Amino acid sequence: MSSIAPTLVALAGGTLSAESLIEQARERAHRAADLNALAHVDWDGALADARDCDARARSGGALRALHGLPITIKDLFNVRGMPTRAGTRAPLPELDEGEALLVTRLREAGAVIFAKTNMHEIALGATGENRWTGDVKNPFDPSRQSGGSSSGAGVAVAIGIGLAGIGSDTGGSVRIPAAFCGVTGFKPSYGAIPLDGGLYLSWTCDHAGPLARSVDDCVRLFEVMAQCSVEQAAPGRAARFAVPAQWLRGRLQPAVREHFERRVGRLREAGAEVVEVATPLLPGASACYTTIVRAEAAWVHREALAAGGEGFSDLVLPALEAGRQLSAADYIGALKQRDGVRGELDAILAGCDALLLPSTGALPPPRGQLEVELEDGTMSVRDAVLGQTLPFSMCGLPALSIPVGLVEGSYGPGTPALPAGLQLVGRFGGDAALLALGRWVEAQVGEAVAPPGY
């Protein structure tokens, strides 16, 4: 499937139909069933909605912003006529009644909501591995992780099961699967997209955001879900980027380092200014984030935990139980520490257009692998992957992951080429400016990649 703008042109011109888009999504879903991207699907309902869109187009009515476009939704948002299970067998807390507000806004803009995507259990993890629903497999190499927790959304977009997917991002859950699957992922500023009708993991860190084929596609989806207009142009001067070089030192695979530095060089050649900045508080972000998210997740799931925690897998129950043991002083201390990290990042961003860094410190590891080798030795997969993204969601800053091609040999000679992402982080509330800058970066160094066979 192509990106949104040319698809809308074809739909308006009658050379493409919404019904054919659903049929194409169904064919891709059947062909790639082993990748396990979808949690629930309603092909009959989707075809009926698509035919309504086609009838509207034939009648000469004005086409809406997302007319006839098939879009998937992560299985922690309520969708009319579909169950919400969030990848767990544990009983879920009661959600707001009715459809999630962001889903309603997508429908009102003409989108065809046809499926819910698989995810890391209750969104508490970044690998896409799930004891209950099965692992979501990477489309570039099914033996590898797809990223999480919006794993199914990333895979579905990469292989053309719909034009876009909507995920959630608490610590990186949009950007990590976007990077691992070779697509674009946008996490907006905290509060920009409403979460009504969705299952919280951490109410002070949770965001919703799109995974799509380009920055422009993310702009269109963000405008609909946030009910705003993104019109701001890129800076009228050379872009200025800040790289947290000291913090990144030792955190990257050598192949990721080399790939990133080549992209930075190309941005400099295109006229950008790239400066290194010190971030003395950033190393403490991971511990701070972990305390906040585990405490809030344990509170969200307090009834199920009080009943014994049955239905949570061994991949998430220990973290929830650890959250139950945290004291009020632990939680408040982490909130205060977050204020310090946010202040540090705000001060840096006051003097530049965006932070610039790899989306993940490591490329997609093998499924089941718990550690990776980085420049300075062994690091847990969680820290190597989630550690690159969590400070910015914890602090509510908009962040964008752009695909920048494939990296060869990151896990040794003969291992497959795997996708890499470049992450841009902007000022709080500066979503339009970041997306405009993202368009420019995409034009300079972006490199779309497609999984083999798709």
Give the residue numbers marked as catalytic.
74, 149, 173
Alpha helices in 378-446 (DSSP H): 381-385, 390-394, 431-445
Q: What angle do CA 85, 89, 95 make, to 5 degrees?
A: 40
CA dihedral (282, 244, 278, 429) in degrees, to 10, reads: -70
Q: Say if residues 57 and 158 touch (Cβ distance below 8 Å).
A: no
Retrieve residue 191's tokens. Answer: 């509060």
Helix (H) or strand (E) holding 152: helix 151-159
Closest listed residue to residue 92, CA positions, set 302, 295, 296, 291: 302
Taking the alpha carbons of 168, 174, 176, 180 in that order, is the dihedral positive or negative? positive
Closest listed residue to residue 288, CA positions, set 339, 216, 239, 349: 339
Strand ranges inside 23-148, DSSP E: 38-41, 70-74, 112-117
Taking the C-alpha atoms of residue 196 and residue 423, their distance in angstroms, rounded to an integer, is 27
